[in-house]
Amino acid sequence: MSMANDMHVTLRLPTRTLFEGRATRLTAVAKNGGFGILPNHIDFVTALVPSVLMLTTPEGRERVFGIDEGLLVKKSHAVDVAVRRGVEGDDLGTLRDTVRETFIEMEEDERVARSALSRLEADMVRRFASLRKPQL
């Protein structure tokens, strides 16, 4: 593997890409604790826990993301991160409020969708049950 000054990082959600770009450093939290990755770090895979993921861009800018559980794969000079939910914050101070607002909104949307699905399933079961009744 060649030596590099940065790595290509992609942070994906189920419905879209939250971040894609170059980074000189990444820090995250796995089940066994926090860790950092530099561009020439050894390849590995780890499960992420709900936490803060931080990136440093080649320009020196810190990017801060609040993430839910997910998976990180480091291979060569590419890091792919797939998380269930995530949001970018301006800084650590405001990230907590941003995560709280966004995740609560997502949970409410998921609750509404589950409720609608339950009603559809119940209606389908009633319709199938009515098909079993003998017609007079």
Q: How confident is the model at residue 51 (pLDDT cuts 50, 70, 90)?
A: confident
Q: For residue range 53-101, what is the model confidence (pLDDT) as tens digits?
A: 999 999 999 999 988 899 999 999 999 999 988 888 877 777 666 666 6
Which of 132 and 11 is assigned the larger pLDDT? Answer: 11
Please tell me the distance from the alpha carbon of residue 37 to that of residue 54, in angstroms, as a whole number: 10
Degrees to nearest 5, angle at CA 98 with 60 and 15 = 85
**What is the Cα–Cα distance from 65 to 89, expressed in whole angstroms?**
6
Fold of 7-132: ATP Synthase; domain 1 (2.60.15)
Query: Hey, where are the domains in the chain?
Result: 7-132
pTM: 0.70
pLDDT digits (tens, 9 = 90+) for 55-68: 999 999 999 998 88
CA gap 125, 92 in Å, rounded: 48
Q: What is the pLDDT of residue 1?
A: 54
